[in-house]
Chains A and B, each alone.
Chain A
Amino acid sequence: MMGILVDVTKCTGCERCVEACIEENDLDPVKAQVDRAVTKDGLSANRFLSVPQVAEGRFVRMSCMHCLEPICVSACLVGGLTKSPEGPVVYDPEKCIGCRYCMLACPFHIPRYQWGDTTPLVRKCSMCLQRLQHGQVPACVEACPEEVLKFGDRGALLKEAHDLIAAGRGRYLPRVWGEHEFGGTSVLYISDVDLGVMGWPEPAAESIPSLTEPLIAKTPFIGLGVMSSLLGINWVIQRRIRLAGEREREGRSS
């Protein structure tokens, strides 16, 4: 399982990662430039990656977190989103019907819609799955001039993050964002400012599918249970009506 480690303290906000992302995903640079100005977080169907400022002089690479237990994957009714073994959460444009439940479900507001299109699709970061399959690193990681982004095995990155925090002696806040939140994410952050503004919850926040999937697994049994109890109630009631009728007839005949 691969991941990306983001060192927020190093980022200068130059947005070369965004530029590389736009080039790699063949997006329209002009539309992306417009959306940078008109959206509140810089993300849109034309811009899968943005580097908003979270504090004075602190910029954060913001894009799909590629959760380990993604709620968008769990929510999509046609299975149009999948968590690939390499790590990315990938969207299948052939399956999508445009219900936009993934957009409602994502706690980070990541999936974006082509509102202006008459055949709209959901667009989001795919961690450059096509590059990963050719042994390359994601385009944003390659483009970063300040070595803010590190790509590698998530376990190794996590260890490195904790080592950095320990070695930094106060340079970082003692927390790796993405280690536990929502069951963990493939994109990890270390920072000297709080990243709550990006939508990060408390570290203890459990994965969202763990709230819903046990419930939905019970569905067939609930259905069968309701059906059998209906039949049971009906049997009892019909029997009592029949007995009452018989008793009445007996009463009349005797």
Chain B
Amino acid sequence: MMERTRGLKDLLWALALAGLVAGGFRLWFGLGATTALTDHVPWGLWKIFNMVAGVAISTSGFTVGFLVYVLGLERFRPLMKPAILVAFLGYGCSCLALLFDIGLPWRFWHPFLMWNEHSFLFEVFWCVSLYFTVTTIELAPLVLERLRAEKAVRFLHRIAFWVVVVGISLSSLHHSSLGSLFLVTPQRLHALWYTPLLPLLFIVSAMGAGIMFVILVRILHAHWYDREAVFGPTRVERELILMRSPGRKEVEEGARAAGPEMPMLTALASIGTGILAIWLILQVVALAMDGSWQALLAGSWESWLYGVELFVTAALPLLLVWLPATRGSPTAMGVAAFSASAGLMLNRMNVGIFGYFRDAGEIYFPTLAEWALSLGVVAAAALVFLYFTESMPIFRSTREEGRAAPLFGVSFDSLSRVWYRALRSGVERATVIGVFVLPLAWAFMYPPFHREEAPAVTPAFGMDVARTSLRIDGNRGGVDTEFPHAEHKERLGGDSSCVTCHHISLPGDETTPCSRCHRHLVEPTLIFDHDLHVAKVAEKEELKGVFPENHSCVLCHTGGGSKTAANAKPCLECHKEDTRWEEEYGESDELSWAVSYLEAMHTNCADCHAEKAEEAKRPGLGDCATCHGSLSPRVLPAGAAPRGSTSPPA
């Protein structure tokens, strides 16, 4: 039994521990450093996935409570406890994630004292808090029974009906209000999802998909713990039964022989998918009401997402549950339940995140830390769920051996004839997982490691001390070439020859390095430093104010109107004495763009080499290998970008 869930639990532990690291970073470094949220997309994964969707998927506590306590449908009572547990954990982990999401978590209690009863978020806050209390009271008998507090248990059983009624009322309020949250953004939310019916759509879909989710939980639990309750006897078991009592038709039919709980689950799924059908109809009504069906026909990515959402949430589960071919099959039921649950999550993400992209004018993709915390909190809740189901009678048919694993796994290995200690206990395994996961999570999410740096300039490789020759390595890629600097200087006319190659003769620096202008191997580089000019001009003209720089604009942008490079003064108007470009390029305005390293070097070097090769009658002098092959092992690799190519060499 223990073996079956081991892989699942290991995964959950890994996710939960990664989430722990993410949560720590969130608290230590702040929201901006750990999330991809911006001023234009202020709500992300933690709010929408964990809170809005997480709460919506946990409706089973009140829907099953309604069926059992209010309508008196006792056949669904076996699912009451798991439903309440799902609600308790769903709400609990949503609130936990929300604590990390709000900017000032230690002020989470403010809405209890500071009221704004006009706010839907205020209502959601109160209802969720109260409902979480309700689920705690509903769950308490389980724990109290273990503690043998019989009086308290009897009292809680007496008030159970009233607690359920209060819970349903609170749920009906906040599940609709979660939809109303988005009613405040008629301008911002995409027309496909914005509708005055949002509150109604939200509560109906949450009820339907919440029922499907508790079915999914039941089926998954059965898969790991008590298969035959849902999936029926295995093939071997079936054959055994047939051997003992041949002719039992329902067993003989094989595939359709489902477990004893299937009829109940099928009935519940019929209710769930029925509610989702109502939701589907309401969605169509909402589309027709405000004419947003036109947006559906637009063929944008939003309309595709909307279509997928409707299909996955409602259409597919409806088909699987109601078509005679698949009705009553545990696997089809599992797929239907998963589809509805995933569809609900997608719906909430669409309304809360994707529907805002168009208005925001940007795309939000959560950071690794956001994913880790979101999934980690859910994984932690799942671990708590497994703990509860293994140690308490949550599912009526849960067998005792579920927790019968030995605490110390010391055993004898018959092959190697040594005693070894297998990692059996949960704590041991979690520790080992932690040893692997925690450092990885740290490395992948530690914000200072992942801060976006400004694109670095790639200056020329350093010169030798005597400057007799240079090594030019434009991108610091280990691909360099030798340049006999002293020889060139001598040949071209000594100390006065610098400006022949170094076009810009900066004051006090006669030998400007190539890297000052040609900063990238293949990309042309903008050498005009706007900020420097703004500051220098303000300084020179002795302008005043908080931003003396602001008053300097008009000194260069003389054209009026918008301030662009087009209406700025040509560089030469101020920098005549600093450059030789005038004689070479005249009044050209190309000055602010320096060509790439590759272009500059090839033009200067290769052209000259070709000339000299002819003069010296040595055609090989102009070959690439003359420069790039001479410096083994650092040679130009095969397939490197040829001259004029736009991609940097490998």
Contacts and interface: CB of A to CB of B under 8 A. Distances in A.
Interface of A: 13-16, 19, 22-23, 29, 33, 39-40, 43-44, 53, 56-57, 71, 74-80, 95-101, 103-105, 107, 109, 112-121, 199, 201, 205, 208-209, 211-213, 215-216, 219, 222-224, 226-227, 230-231, 233-234, 237-238, 241
Nearest to B530: A37
B618 interface: no
A39 B105 CA distance: 27
A237 B121 contact: no
A231 B162 CA distance: 9
A97 B177 contact: no
Given A100-B43, A107-B187, A230-B169, A216 B118 contact: yes
A96 B104 CA distance: 8
B120 interface: yes
Contacts of A44: 39
6 contacts: A16-B550, A33-B547, A39-B39, A99-B102, A109-B39, A119-B103
A112 B115 contact: no
Contacts of A95: 110, 114
B426 interface: no
A212 B183 contact: yes
B183 A215 contact: yes
Interface stretch (B68-76, B398-406, B512-520): B68-76
Given A29-B547, A219-B173, A237-B72, A209 B118 contact: yes
A75 B114 CA distance: 13
A98 B103 contact: yes
Contact of B547 (A19, A121, A227): A19
Contact of A120 (B30, B183, B186): B30
Given A79-B114, A115-B39, A118-B29, 15 more contacts: A39-B39, A43-B39, A57-B562, A77-B111, A77-B122, A80-B114, A104-B188, A116-B33, A117-B32, A205-B186, A212-B180, A212-B184, A227-B168, A230-B168, A233-B71
A211 B186 contact: yes
A210 to B, nearest CB: 11
Contacts of B181: 101
B569 to A, nearest CB: 18
A29 B40 contact: no
Contacts of A199: 187
Interface string B142-165: 000000000000000000010001
Given A76-B116, A113-B39, A230-B165, A100 B103 contact: yes
Nearest to B173: A223
B37 interface: yes
Given A104-B43, A115-B31, A223-B170, A19 B550 contact: yes
A222 B187 contact: no
Interface string B543-554: 001110111010
Nearest to A92: B114
B376 interface: no
B560 interface: yes
Contacts of A241: 72
Nearest to B187: A107
Contacts of A216: 117-120, 123, 177, 180
Contact of A219 (B177, B185, B549, B560): B177
B110 A215 contact: no
A103 B551 CA distance: 33
A101 B180 CA distance: 13
Contacts of B199: 215
A234 B32 contact: no
B125 interface: yes
Contact of B115 (A15, A79, A115, A238): A79
A19 B104 CA distance: 30
B172 interface: yes
B108 interface: yes
Most buried by B among A71, A104, A105, A215: A104
Contact of A97 (B108, B120, B361): B108
B166 interface: yes
A37 B470 CA distance: 38
A222 B172 contact: yes
Contacts of A76: 116, 119, 121
Nearest to B563: A13
A76 B186 CA distance: 17
B307 interface: no
B107 interface: yes
